[in-house]
Amino acid sequence: MSRKKKKAPLMGIEVEAYAAEGNSIAHLDEGKVLFIENVIPGDIIDVAIIKDKKSWAQGKMLRLITPSPNRIDAFCKHFGVCGGCKWQMLPYKLQLTYKQQQVADQLKRIGQVELPEIQPIIGSANERYYRNKLEFTFSTQRYRTIEEIKDRDEKFESEPVLGFHAPGLFDKVVEINKCYLQPEPTNLLLTTIRAYTQKHNLPYYNFKAQYGWLRNVIIRVTTTNEVLINLVIHHEVKEDREGLLNYILEQIPTITSLNYTVNSKVNDTIYDLDVVCWHGKPYIIEELEEFKFKISPKSFFQTNTLQAEALYKITREFAGLTGKETLYDFYCGTGSIGIFCSGLAKKVIGIESVADAIKDAIENAALNNITNCAFFAGDIIDICNDAFFDTHGFPDVIITDPPRIGMHPKLVNQLLKILAPKIVYVSCNPATQARDLQLLDVAYKVVRLQPVDMFPHTHHIENVALLELKV
């Protein structure tokens, strides 16, 4: 069988515009659209075609011939390899411009509904060190660049590495020496763990062969200067575990909560596993305005704390609460949005499918002495029936904050049956939000739109939409 002929590279292609999801575009013959990652408008490049369809193609930059006038030097030496901050070569103001454009394009192209003017995007106050949670991975297989493996015949030896998974590779990890995403003691912790584990020859995990001991380390920090560490190991080796944990604590005594988890499964998820608190309390406390939130190793919490406060303020403003409303919070998670809005609502009803998150929500309400919030675990479609409304009240306002895939069609249909006067739709994916707005258009009009940037140097963007019933 003959192999499909590889397409020749395209030379001297000018990148014309930003598309979405980290792609920029150029146009080929007869108007064919070429999507390219990791480039910016104005770049002139040589391109390899990696996917070729009738009306579009996907390309990969082979060589940057002439950089765009807008291109700047990345501030992190891992840029272009680790895959975390893909837009460091783009000034932050221009990142915000493209994100604003992404929201507008996707809402208009996919949603195809009447829209109000989109408010100027709210940028992040911190462009670096803005994350409150990171997860680093131990591996025996270090990711190597094309330059490292070029013209090399023999295989590389196993090498312990602590860092981030290489993009698209489950078994290769990029060594991270300094990360600009999370404030200290994150980089100090990486240095401390790497030095101790390699000095004592503690075995890192091999994801392909599924053997080894050290798997992951999860780090959470708060604006109140509390620090939570969760070390994930494959199996219990008491002497080694205690030695490592004690050393971490000796070197970084400011750690508030030091934990470990034994994970002998194939996958990395720990949500079905027990977390053991080794030192301190089994949680940390974060604050948004006057509200306190308890964050445990398995809790979900918005990753950019300061921008979460900005996002919640917009959500609360859009809800237009006067103290008389019954507010329903769908996909409520650990209750943060509902609690944030509780002071202006008569009653808050939070619903979430993850039972552990609801436990956290109930604890967070108690922590803040809030008595007008009630939280329920289960499927929104099953819970929100006439009997439930008879007991807890009909929603005057619904806040919905779904995952990236957007709302399930059954939930959209449920919203069209409930017909609450207002819906505030908080989205981390304008494309799926646009799809849902189109489905809701039979009963609702979009009256306000506000993009919020939670993740500088990435293509991700949040958008808040206020919907009101059509007259």
pLDDT of residue 153: 59
Q: Which residues contact 430 (CB under 8 A, 6 or more apart)?
A: 102, 103, 106, 107, 451, 461, 463
For the domain 10-71, what is the CATH code?
2.40.50.140
At 40, give phi and psi (nearest 5°): -130, 155
pLDDT of residue 54: 87
Q: Which residues pair with 229 in a beta bridge?
A: 219, 258
CA distances (Å), origin 21, targets 13, 119, 166 = 20, 21, 18
Neighbours of 251 (CB within 10 A): 16
pLDDT of residue 150: 66
> Which CATH number fits the domain 96-126+302-469, given the four candidates 3.40.50.150, 3.40.50.10540, 3.30.750.210, 3.30.70.3450?
3.40.50.150
CA distances (Å), origin 131, targets 203, 426, 435 = 29, 20, 29
Q: How far apart are CA 316 and CA 356, in angstroms?
A: 25
For the chain, the structural domain boundaries read 10-71, 96-126+302-469, 133-288
Q: Which residues pair with 291 in a beta bridge?
A: 288
Topology, domain 133-288: OB fold (Dihydrolipoamide Acetyltransferase, E2P) (2.40.50)
pLDDT of residue 167: 84
pLDDT of residue 356: 87
pLDDT of residue 354: 87
Q: How far apart are CA 73 and CA 68, in angstroms?
A: 12
Which residues belong to the active site? 428
Tokens 């059509």 belong to which residue? 470
Same fold, 10-71 and 133-288: yes
pLDDT of residue 226: 97
Show the 3-state SS of the chain: CCCCCCCCCEEEEECCEECCCCEEEEECHHHCEEEEECCCCCCEEEEEEEEECCCEEEEEEEEEEECCCCCCCCCCCCCCCCCCCCCCCCCHHHHHHHHHHHHHHHHHHHHCCCCCCCCCCECCCCCCCCCCEEEEEEECCECCCHHHHCCCCCCCCCCCEEEEECCCCCCCEEECCCCCCCCCCHHHHHHHHHHHHHHCCCCECECCCCECCEEEEEEEECCCCCEEEEEEECCCCHHHHHHHHHHHHHHCCCCCEEEEEECCCCCCCCCCCCEEEEEECCCEEEEECCEEEEECCCCCCCCCHHHHHHHHHHHHHHHCCCCCCEEEEECCCCCHHHHHHHHHCCEEEEEECCHHHHHHHHHHHHHCCCCCEEEEECCHHHHCCHHHHHHHCCCCEEEECCCCCCCCHHHHHHHHHHCCCEEEEEECCHHHHHHHHHHHCCCEEEEEEEEECCCCCCCCCEEEEEEEECC
pLDDT of residue 1: 44
- The stretches in the chain having pLDDT less than 70 are 1-6, 149-155
Q: 465 exposed, middle or buried (CB, 10 Å; 0-12, 13-18, 19+)?
A: buried
pLDDT of residue 168: 81
pLDDT of residue 74: 94
Amino acid at 239: E
Q: How far apart are CA 250 and CA 248, in angstroms?
A: 6
Tokens 């399930």 belong to which residue? 408
pTM of the model: 0.92
Q: Is the backbone of residue 335 left (phi > 0), alpha (psi -120 to 50) or beta? A: left
pLDDT of residue 29: 81
